[in-house]
Amino acid sequence: MTDEQSPLIVLNPATEEAVATVPGTTPEQVDAAVARAAQAQRGWAALAPADRARLLRRFADTVDSHLDELAELEVREAGHTRGNARWEAGNVRDLLEYAAAGVERLIGHQIPVAGGLDVTFHEPLGVVAVIAPWNFPMPIAAWGFAPALAAGNAVLLKPAETTPLTALRLAELALTAGLPEHLLQVLPGHGTVTGRALTGHPGVRKVVFTGSTPVGKEIMARCAGQLKRVTLELGGKSPNIVFADADLERAAASAPMAFLDNAGQDCCARTRILVQREVYDDFLALVAPAIEAVRVGDPADPATEMGPLISARQLARVNGYLTPDAPVAAQGKAPAGPGFWCAPTLLAPDDPGSPAAVEEIFGPIAVVLPFTDEADALRLANATRYGLSGSIWTRDLGRALRMARGVEAGNLSVNSHSSVRYWTPFGGFGESGLGRELGPDALAHFTETKNVFISTEE
């Protein structure tokens, strides 16, 4: 049996103990799942909008009544802190409720024309594949499946190799809530087998992918062959820009968790801290003890602020940036022993073009770099191939707006690090992705617009 055919072994990242073994889905099984999904979709799309909305609200309620169980699974398979895991399960509920409210509001246009009536319809695409990552397994899966289902599609969800358990449980809860069989199917498996079978399948009409930029490019190329719709949410190397006129204490107090939340495995992590030169030393004096004080440990302990990395592979990748000559400006502590632990670390490289300063590390490491003025801050902020998020700290409203318009990224926050709300649009510029998810247009992204002209000529 090759690695690609082997079952998925789910490990608890905090202990390295095996949690479960899950068989992968073969290409033949993907074919069968697409056929079943296509049939379920036709029935689902034919339901009255109020009935579809009611079933999705029931699904949301069922998730809500299993919040603790889902959170517990997330702690065990992904090493997330308990507080984060509960928030993530709640986010799935909220996404379903928000999407359910859109079913009866998926309205088209009536456009003035001579000699008749012109109307538009939002037709469902059919079968949609959602290929999810391991960093936020539940919410990111639901960003895709909630609006896709609400718009009348069937969904095939492929979770990441390391985190299939919450997805499998969510599909069971969908059935408990009364959603039709085969409408939401979870197909665990390896990306190169199950993932590729989905992206190459002619019966799949759209692929929603979140993960690494190289895999995103491969998926886009494969989808191009069949003109399959694609949404890509990829990497990030987001700036946290601190001007001298900012509330320095607030900026410094919030900077650590802005890159350490979820152990830095967050595409929106503010991993490039750009500080105006005249307050650089003051900022460092405030931020270093805050980083050193972050509590890293057992994710099931409510006092823990940061858990382990997802896997040995990810730990090795992240440790590659912590060479003996790495310019460490501040470093916290991490447990020894089993588990994929990495200490929170701030690097102060001389070269703003060094790998740690421009590559997505996806671990608890940030860099801090000085800048001189607004133009210099903008130049540094935009000096990566990514463009997902960013924060701007200043008390000058004009400057905040100039910077917010100048930074080439899809999601910016001023005097805050917020990025993702299910009711606001989310997505990246440049190599951070293609298309948008969430927000008021989320359902429309899972439809084709159809224009119909009806003649009134006698």
Q: Is 74 a catalytic residue?
A: no
The residue from 233, 360, 431, 437 that is catalytic is 233
Token couple for 398: 């004009």
Of 172, 171, 232, give the one whose Cα is nearest residue 199. 232
Residue 133 contacts ligand NAD per CB under 6 A: yes
Measured CA to CA, the distance from residue 20 to residue 297 in angstroms comes to: 22
Residue 88 contacts ligand NAD per CB under 6 A: no
Residue 356 contacts ligand NAD per CB under 6 A: no
Residue 437 contacts ligand NAD per CB under 6 A: no
Contact yes or no for 80/88 (Cβ under 8 A): yes
Q: Give least dist CB 264 to ligand NAD, A.
A: 10
Which one, 180 or 425, has the nearer CB to ligand NAD? Answer: 425
Cβ-based neighbours of 403, under 8 Å, separated by 6 or more: 241, 374, 377, 378, 381, 392, 394
Other C-beta atoms lying within 10 Å of the C-beta of residue 150:
27
Measured CA to CA, the distance from residue 309 to residue 342 in angstroms comes to: 7
The residue from 223, 267, 268, 342 that is catalytic is 267
Of 258, 262, 249, 127, give the one whose Cα is nearest residue 199. 127
Determine the interface stretch with ligand NAD among 16-24, 62-70, 207-215, 270-278 (rule: CB under 6 A): 207-215
Q: Is 267 a catalytic residue?
A: yes
Antiparallel, parallel or unpaired: β 433-434 and 328-331? unpaired
User: Taking every pair of C-alpha atoms in the chain, what is the biggest distance, in angstroms?
Assistant: 84
Candidates 73, 154, 173, 267; binder of ligand NAD (CB under 6 A) is 267
Token couple for 252: 């410094």
Measured at the CA of 329, the angle between CA 326 and CA 335, to 5 degrees, comes to: 80
Q: Give least dist CB 22 to ligand NAD, A.
A: 13
Residue 362 contacts ligand NAD per CB under 6 A: yes
Residue 165 contacts ligand NAD per CB under 6 A: no
Q: Give least dist CB 304 to ligand NAD, A.
A: 22
Contact yes or no for 192/200 (Cβ under 8 A): no
Residue 226 contacts ligand NAD per CB under 6 A: no
Q: Give least dist CB 5 to ligand NAD, A.
A: 14
Residue 360 contacts ligand NAD per CB under 6 A: yes
Residue 219 contacts ligand NAD per CB under 6 A: yes
Residue 234 contacts ligand NAD per CB under 6 A: yes
Tell me which residues touch ligand NAD (CB under 6 A).
131-135, 158, 160-161, 191-192, 195-196, 199, 210-212, 215, 218-219, 233-235, 267, 317, 360, 362
The set of catalytic residues is: 233, 267
